[in-house]
Structure 1
Amino acid sequence: MPNPFDILPLNLFNLFTTVGFASLQRHYMAILIRIYSLAEFNRFGLARETVIAEIVDYIKDADAENEIQADMTNQADPEPDPVSLAGSKPEQTYAAYLIRRLAESGWIEREQHADYSETIILPDYAFTLLEAFRSIQEQKPREFKGQLYAAHQLITSATTHKDFSPTLAVSQTYENIRQVVRGLNELNQNIRRYVERATKKMEVADLLRLQFDDYTQTLGPAYHALKTSDHVSRYRRDIVNQIQIWLQDDDWLARTAEELAAQSRLSPAQAEHEINQSLIFIVHQLEGLDPLLADIDARHAQYLRTSFRQIRYKLGNADGSFKDRLVSLAQHLSALRAEGLEELPEDVNTYTSTQVETEHGTRNIAEHPPGTQHAPRPTFLPIP
């Protein structure tokens, strides 16, 4: 199996090792993701003018002129851009410089035409890498909703429809189960990360925002689907039972391997081995999900307990630490004792207090003293 750098340009990531301005790598990444968003569904490449305009908009929005100008100055003997226009504005000059840097590092390719126009193209590896970077930027968990249902439908179709390709059923079920297991592992680790964030010193507003805005919106739907529509027990037994039947059916394995060999460069023996490995992988992963699901439930409950405990603690100590409250209580009792009181007033806990200066020192008095109590009075109602 080749190493990724047998395919990737050697200086691909040198773009992010900037010196002097740490924010430059952020600017390069943001610009790359913007270009990727433009090129994602574009079939003919991007016109240079379109990319220039997008970069100029970013430079203005991010106020990045100084960093880019410094980077241009630090480059030894920068080569002039052959497509640059004379008399262009500074922002366009910066954008042209960034395009040249992206092309030199291998993130984009420039295709020049006979009419001197230029098209910007993203290589295939750039699509893969930038999609991963954008997923990290958006902070969205891996989407695995419906994958178990799709795997169940594939297995069912392969058994009930004779013209349905068994090779397609096995390969797609394999991919679906991989997505499910990866999604569950990511969900588990993301919940652990939220537990760690909830234990940090955060204000109540931040904890509430983390609980109801971030956690609920990001991980809530995935966890809810796991416990309802995508519950493993709904589909696991049917999938495992059918795969075990296939593993014991030599004729079915031979036919499926022959079909796979015809579609690929594998020999029949290699194809049969790959089919067996895929089926065993599916069974092994489905049968081993219970400990992972139990760990997800435990981490989810731990996060809820930790989050609400932190919120309750913060709210309970909003008027000071426990030590401060003990000191205040001791001072209050000392002031009452100095006034000759041997017992606490009966209404000591019925209203809030504040500190005032008296001839005996500082003491707490009621901010809103209780109202005067009156004896009940009879009420006379006229009789018609």
Structure 2
Amino acid sequence: MLPVNLFNLLSSRAGALQRHYAAILLRIYDLAEFNRFGLTREVVIAEIVDYLTGEGSEAMTTPPAGDFDSAEGEPPPPTGDVQEYAGWILRRLVEAGWLEREQQADYTEFVILPDYAFTLLEAMRAIQQNKPREYTGQLYAAHQLLTSQSDDFSPALALTQAYENVRQVVRGLNELNQNIRRYTERVTRDRPVAELLRLQYEDYSQVLGHAYHALKTSDHVSRYRRDIIARLQVWQLDNDTLSRIADELATQGRLTPAQAADEVRHYIQFIIHQLESLDPLLEEIDRRHAQYLRTSLRHIRYQLVSADGNFKDRLASLARHLAALQGEGEKYPPAEMPVFQTPRVRHPDRDSLYTLPRRRAPFAPAPVIRPLLDPAEVMTLRAATLQEMGQAITPARIQRFVGQFFNGHRAIHIASLPPDAFDGEEGLSWLIYTIAYGNHPEVNYELEPLPGEPVALGTVRVKPFRLVKRDA
């Protein structure tokens, strides 16, 4: 749970000191981010004093109106003593919950940032620096994790890390999509040409342009998507691999085997579903990007063409200029003035007046001529048609193909079939038809699934089953 008054210092209640509180917190966060030994109170006070005597000097001269509430703590000290003022700011940050104090055995006081403060300040710094989200490398990392062939490969660790990386990728793409919409809405407002050009060539390209360019070129998601999905689908069909991942995850995450198995299935399905459904999101990003460019250029063109504003303003400006010319004694407009656009005059002709409707001529269809075929050509076409009909797949043909394997037996295991029964592309087609027609009412056999490992048939592996003759 977050402290109740945590955001009071960053809200409108903080008045003029609102941005100074945020700047000081970010400075303390920079000190504490990679500090190994902790921050003493003296170090934090020195950092606040450095800010108050530098870029935040106006905080010392600005009365903290609306910043102090008598129910919250001590009143602010006089603004003349920077050390006392820095100590007062530090106490306010501790009271609000952004910082905590810890006293050692030798009475040395350390200032600590709580865990939630690290998370919130990292988000605030990312917003302040206005950096685009880097998500393309995460998809590459997920690809390397899942396709690794090293001896110390841990499938549970690879799956959990890949899940987090793919989750960040999808989140980054949605963030990119929403930012494009935000910029599109911003350029639709009334802005001068200079501001529109800055948004077009500076702000937009710096915030979204590089990420969008990398998304469509070097780090395109399709480079890694196929391999990731193929590996996860292999894991889905391998019960031993799923059990091993679940056991390892249960050991690492303190979960029961059943909970770990559910987590593994959820991770795999989430990654496959998100990667397979990225195409509509990428199309939406393309559409919004093109919409932004069209809208921005249209507004720039309109501003350049209509430099004096809308039609009402231009009409008033024209009237003022004509009045000025009339006041100077001019009777005619200047020679460089554009001429008025006059519509072209068209003379009436015989089609200008109303004409009575005319009756259409009766429809005369063209004669139908039936071509005569040569008898030899007729025989050739008939033979080709009979050959195509003979190659058509029917239940009777499938039954004849499967019946040759029974050899007097009532049931036969799929592993007992001849090794070359389903070789090549034609054999793969017969295997598909054999399985597909297994429950057809017009064939005299059926398929019974069996437990065990997948069996290699031709170029594919299928779950074991047996062919059983139906009773006549």
TM-score range normalised by the length of the shorter chain: 0.7 to 0.9
Q: Percent identity?
A: 62
Partner of 1:40: 33
In 2, Cα distance between equivalents of 1:119 and 1:260: 38
SS in 1 for 2:281: helix
1:167–1:260 contact (8 Å) kept in structure 2: yes
In 1, Cα distance between equivalents of 2:79 and 2:239: 72
In 1, Cα distance between equivalents of 2:235 and 2:325: 81
- Read off the aligned partner of 2:87 and give its amino acid letter: A
SS in 1 for 2:15: coil
Measure how far apart 1:70 and its partner are. Answer: 4.4
- Read off the aligned partner of 1:42 and give its amino acid letter: N
1:65 counterpart = 2:60: yes
- Read off the aligned partner of 1:15 and give its amino acid letter: L
1:75 counterpart = 2:70: yes
Partner of 1:125: 116
2:16–2:64 contact (8 Å) kept in structure 1: no
SS in 1 for 2:110: strand
In 2, Cα distance between equivalents of 1:149 and 1:233: 11
Partner of 1:363: 333
Measure how far apart 1:365 and its partner are. Answer: 3.9
- After superposition, where does 1:238-317 map in structure 2 within 5 Å? 238-317=227-306
Distance change in 2, residues 1:209/1:355 (3 Å): farther
Q: Give the unaligned 5+ runs of structure 2.
A: 338-472
In 2, Cα distance between equivalents of 1:221 and 1:365: 51
Partner of 2:81: 90
1:68–1:94 contact (8 Å) kept in structure 2: no
Distance change in 2, residues 1:18/1:324 (3 Å): closer
**Residue 6 of structure 2: which of 2, 12, 36 is its match?**
12
Measure how far apart 1:300 and its partner are. Answer: 0.3
In 2, Cα distance between equivalents of 1:109 and 1:359: 81
In 1, Cα distance between equivalents of 2:8 and 2:64: 18
Q: Deviations over 1:18-37 (max 9, x none)?
A: 54x53333222221111111
SS in 1 for 2:147: helix
- Read off the aligned partner of 2:29 and give its amino acid letter: Y
Partner of 2:22: 29
1:56 counterpart = 2:49: yes
- Read off the aligned partner of 1:65 and give its amino acid letter: M
1:69–1:94 contact (8 Å) kept in structure 2: no
2:142–2:166 contact (8 Å) kept in structure 1: yes
Q: Deviations over 1:313-344 (max 9, x none)?
A: 11111245445556777999x99xxxxxxxxx
In 2, Cα distance between equivalents of 1:90 and 1:298: 58
SS in 1 for 2:333: strand
SS in 1 for 2:267: helix
In 2, Cα distance between equivalents of 1:330 and 1:22: 49
In 2, Cα distance between equivalents of 1:68 and 1:35: 23
- After superposition, where does 1:368-379 map in structure 2 within 5 Å? none
* TM-score, length-scaled by structure 1: 0.78
SS in 1 for 2:165: helix
In 1, Cα distance between equivalents of 2:243 and 2:4: 44
2:79–2:85 contact (8 Å) kept in structure 1: no
SS in 2 for 1:110: strand
Partner of 2:139: 148
2:192–2:303 contact (8 Å) kept in structure 1: yes
1:356–1:364 contact (8 Å) kept in structure 2: no
Distance change in 2, residues 1:365/1:244 (3 Å): same
- Read off the aligned partner of 2:5 and give its amino acid letter: N
Partner of 1:205: 194
Distance change in 2, residues 1:330/1:68 (3 Å): closer
2:60–2:79 contact (8 Å) kept in structure 1: no
1:187 counterpart = 2:157: no
Measure how far apart 1:117 and its partner are. Answer: 3.7
SS in 1 for 2:183: helix
2:187–2:196 contact (8 Å) kept in structure 1: yes
- Read off the aligned partner of 2:170 and give its amino acid letter: V
Partner of 1:348: none
**Residue 218 of structure 1: which of 187, 196, 207 is its match?**
207
In 1, Cα distance between equivalents of 2:317 and 2:66: 59
- Read off the aligned partner of 2:172 and give its amino acid letter: G
Distance change in 2, residues 1:365/1:325 (3 Å): farther
Larger radius of gyration: 2
In 2, Cα distance between equivalents of 1:192 and 1:80: 45
Measure how far apart 1:358 and its partner are. Answer: 6.0
SS in 2 for 1:219: helix
In 1, Cα distance between equivalents of 2:74 and 2:197: 53
Q: Give the unaligned 5+ runs of structure 1.
A: 336-353, 368-384
Measure how far apart 1:163 and its partner are. Answer: 3.0
* TM-score, length-scaled by structure 2: 0.65
